[in-house]
Amino acid sequence: MNRNVAIVGGGQTYHAARRHDVNQVEMVNEAIRAALQDAQMSIDEIDVILISNMEFFEGTHMTDCWMVDGCGAYGKPGVKITTGGTVGATTICAGAHHVASGLFDTVLCVAFEKQEEGDTGAILSGVAHPLWGRSLAGAAVGYFAMMGSSYMATWGAKEEHSAMVAVKARQNARKNPHAHLKLDIGIEDVLNSRMLAWPIRMLDMCPASNGACAVILSDEKTAKARCKKPVWIRAMETAHNEQFELDWRDVTTKRPIFSKACSSRIYKKLGVSKPSEYFDVFEIYEPATWAELVWYENLGLCEPGEGFKLIEKGITNIDGPIPVNPSGGVLSTNCIGASAMLRVWEAALQIRRDAGRHQVPKDVHRTLSTAYGGTNWTVMMALSKTLDD
């Protein structure tokens, strides 16, 4: 990047299944006002506004234009970028590009989803090719079920291990006032929840949430002048995957995988050899429990086949040596368009030590966030506390 870019503020709504009290514009505005307040900025100081959500999830075309009032975008530059579930992170990348280009100093990135208003089932089934598998679509659950059965058959993990992930997420969420599913549950509760597609149960999956997140980025000069605790964007990487070959669900695959390709690129950029030591906190995009275990391995936090041992030993707990998703993650809050932005914002809060009750006890200098969407796509972002970290 030609200029250093910092996160100088951010905000989010509380996330919930029902937000009958606000329309989409009003909900987005809540996050924006929170972000401006956090950054101690007025809307007049924002140079560019980037607005994103899952395109057409709420059945509305050109949502960015509709959001203009609530975002303060009237008369300002901006564009709408969409990349599916990764879009929140893509939007922060786009914001960083805007700042690094030298054309703009301060950028407001906005991401949201009001899932209750759209027909999520119908729109999700539209992800499938219209002539290839749409009649069987909506099988995101089936996809992660196959991942789970492949994981168990290959590595000898048990359903209890995925349940441990489900419990960790919801117990962490109880410490996060913004999270959606704050459940005081144990392993038995997960195993007794409704079977959706073996071995995926209701509590193995993410919820459908309403919510928004906004993050403000600035150049180094503005950040140092205006912000007490700037968090620096150190590297970003995007990797998509081809349309029809979805090998992630098969843990034995020998083919190059988006997640490993992307992490090895970002590690190379940063000179990381041992990610579990280099990064202090991970905020990853896990739409289902089994995906979290596969992420551990794909990110190199452990050897292949060892992911379930990390959760078993509590290593990824909020107070463990490698905390993963202290916020409660996507398993606790999934306002899809905003989910990937929340991963980055929650990581920034950890660096600032502003995460409140879900702050990890250890020192946090560096974090890694991942996103997930499309047909196995990811965007990764590394943040640091200082430019020397």
Partner 1 sequence: MTARVAIVGWAQTKYAPRLPAVNYPELAYEVISQVLDDTGLSIERDISNSISCSHDIWDGQTISDISINDVIGGHLRNEEKMAMDGSTAVYYGAIGILSGEFDCTLLLAHTKMSQTNRNIVNNTAFDPIYTRMLGFDYTSAAALQANRYMYKYGISHEQVAKVVKKNLANAKLNPLAHQKGDFSISDILSSPLVASPLRELDIAPDTDGAVAMILASEEKAREITNDPVWVLGLGTCYDAYYLGDRDLAEFMALQKAAQRAYTMAGIKNPRREIDVVELSEDFSYQELLWTEGLGLCAPGDGGVLVDSGATQINGRIPVNPSGGLLSGVPANVAGLNRVAQASMQINGNAGEYQVGDVRIAVAHGHSGYCGQHHCVVVLGKE
Partner 2 sequence: MSEQSKQEIFEVDQHLIAHSNYFAGKMGSKFYTTLRDKKKILGVKCLKCNKVLWPPRKTCVFCFSELTQMVEIGPYGTLESFTLVTYSEPVHPRKAPFVYGIVKLDGADTGMAHFIDEVDIDRICIGMRVRPVFSKERNGNILDISYFKPV
Partner 3 sequence: MARKAQELISIPITVDVPYRFAAGSYLTRFFIELRDNDKIFGIKCPQCGRVQLPPRIVCAQCHVKNEEWVELGNEGTLVAFTIMYFPLTDPTTGKPHKSPFVYGSVRLDGATSVLDHFIHVEPDMDKVWVGMRCKLVLRPKNVRIGDLADIQYFEPLEGQKRPLKQMTQ
Binding site for partner 3 (CB under 8 A): 20-21, 59, 119, 121-122, 125-126, 129-139, 141-142, 145-146, 149-150, 152-153, 158-159, 194-198, 200, 242-245, 249-250
CB of 32 vs partner 2, minimal distance in Å: 9
Residue with tokens 């796509």: 377
Q: Which is nearer to partner 1, 69 or 277 (CB)?
A: 69
Q: Is 225 in the site for partner 2 (CB under 8 A)?
A: no
Closest distance to partner 2 from the beta carbon of 144 (Å): 24
Size of the site for partner 2 (CB under 8 A): 28
**How far is the C-alpha of 291 from the C-alpha of 151, rounded, in Å?**
10
43 binds partner 2 (CB under 8 A): yes
Q: Are 99 and 217 in contact (CB under 8 A)?
A: yes
Buried b (16+ CB within 10 A) or exposed e, 62-93: ebbebbbebbbbeeeebebbbbbbbbbbbbbb
Binder of residue 190, out of partner 2, partner 1, partner 3, none (CB less than 5 to 8 A by kind): none
Pseudo-torsion of CA 289, 293, 296, 299, nearest 10°?
Answer: -80
Query: Helix crossing, 289-298 with 140-155: angle to 10°?
Result: 60
Q: What are phi and psi of 216, to 5 degrees?
A: -110, 130
Instruction: With contacts defined by CB under 8 A, name the span among 124-132, 141-149, 159-167, 356-364 that binds partner 1.
Output: 124-132
Q: State phi, psi for 120 to the nearest 5 degrees.
A: -55, -40
Is there binding between residue 1 and partner 1 (CB under 8 A)?
yes
Whose Cβ is closer to partner 2: residue 41's or residue 157's?
41
Q: List Cβ neighbours of 256 (8 Å cut-off, separation of 6 or more).
A: none
Please choose which of partner 1, partner 3, partner 2, none residue 54 contacts, taking the beta carbon within 5 to 8 angstroms, the exact cut-off set by kind: partner 1
Nearest distance from residue 95's CB to partner 3, in Å? 29
**Residue 215 touches partner 1, criterion: CB under 8 A:** no
Query: Is 244 a binder of partner 2 (CB under 8 A)?
Result: no
Residue closer to partner 2, measured from CB, 44 or 363: 44
Name the residue nearer to partner 2 (CB basis): 109 or 137.
137
Cα separation values, 280 from 235, 318, 359, Å:
16, 11, 12
What's the min distance (Å) between Cβ of 211 and partner 2? 14
| Minimum distance, C-beta of residue 129 to partner 2, in the bound complex (Å) | 11
Radius of gyration of the chain (CA): 19
